Chains A and B, each alone.
Chain A
Amino acid sequence: SAVISQKPSRDICQRGTSLTIQCQVDSQVTMMFWYRQQPGQSLTLIATANQGSEATYESGFVIDKFPISRPNLTFSTLTVSNMSPEDSSIYLCSVEDGGRDEQYFGPGTRLTVT
């Protein structure tokens, strides 16, 4: 299975600032996904990021708030812009093992906005 790393693992940020989260995979993958997990909740898909095309956002998530980059087949970034306390969550990236359809997750970035 793919090995996925995320940076930072956690951060505490001030309201109104932005944070960029990095996701690195040890193999080339076509599709990468970004999810959010609010405290005590399940995971919600933010967007799908394919290399060479614009990210596809889910209802309730917009590019101005969560811009995503996907410069190559092993890397992606998610920026949480103009943060408010409601953005305090764990943000996880994932990739699909194309051969087996299994989806694997990074360790997550725990964000606290004060």
Chain B
Amino acid sequence: SQQGEEDPQALSIQEGENATMNCSYKTSINNLQWYRQNSGRGLVHLILIRSNEREKHSGRLRVTLDTSKKSSSLLITASRAADTASYFCATDTGRRALTFGSGTRLQVQP
């Protein structure tokens, strides 16, 4: 069963705007990872944030983690048409295997 939910389920924005996706989970975690998937292809690893971290940056990506609320957010700044994809959060509870959220479909309009 899925660990949590992501919202929104779908998001449509214009190029240049920022996109924010939220992920909630249910149990304590060791780390949380974000992935991108283009049109049913393989998953691209974006960023990992550990349970003792609150924020991480990678290029145009900013991830936050609030373990007290069991939630995380992914911010993509200055979005591009090439960012159009599905984005998934996934949690590692210590088992090493990941439990995925439901995903957010992002559409960036040129």
Instruction: List the interface of chain A (C-beta within 8 A of B).
Output: 1, 31, 33, 37, 42-45, 48, 59, 90, 92, 94, 96, 100-108, 110
Supplied contacts A33-B96, A101-B30, 12 more A-B pairs, CB within 8 Å: A1-B45, A43-B43, A43-B90, A43-B100, A44-B100, A45-B99, A48-B96, A94-B43, A101-B31, A105-B35, A108-B40, A110-B40
Q: What is the size category of the interface that chain B forms with chain A?
A: 20 to 34
CB pair A31 B45 closer than 8 Å: no
Q: Describe A's contact surface by its main secondary structure.
A: strand
Roughly how many angstroms separate A71 CA and B97 CA in the complex, as a whole number?
A: 20
Query: A42-B2, A42-B103, A43-B88 in contact; A105/B43 too (CB < 8 A)?
Result: yes
CB pair B102 A103 closer than 8 Å: no
Roughly how many angstroms separate A37 CA and B35 CA in the complex, as a whole number?
A: 14
Q: Which of B71-110 contact A (CB under 8 A)?
A: 88, 90, 92, 95-103
* Distance between B19 CB and nearest chain A CB, rounded to angstroms: 19
Instruction: List the interface of chain B (C-beta within 8 A of A).
Output: 1-2, 30-31, 33, 35, 40-43, 45, 48, 50, 88, 90, 92, 95-103
CB pair A45 B42 closer than 8 Å: no
Enumerate chain B residues within 8 angstroms of A1, measured Cβ to Cβ: 45
CB pair B42 A92 closer than 8 Å: yes
Identity of the chain B residue whose Cβ is nearest the Cβ of A45 in the assembled complex: B97
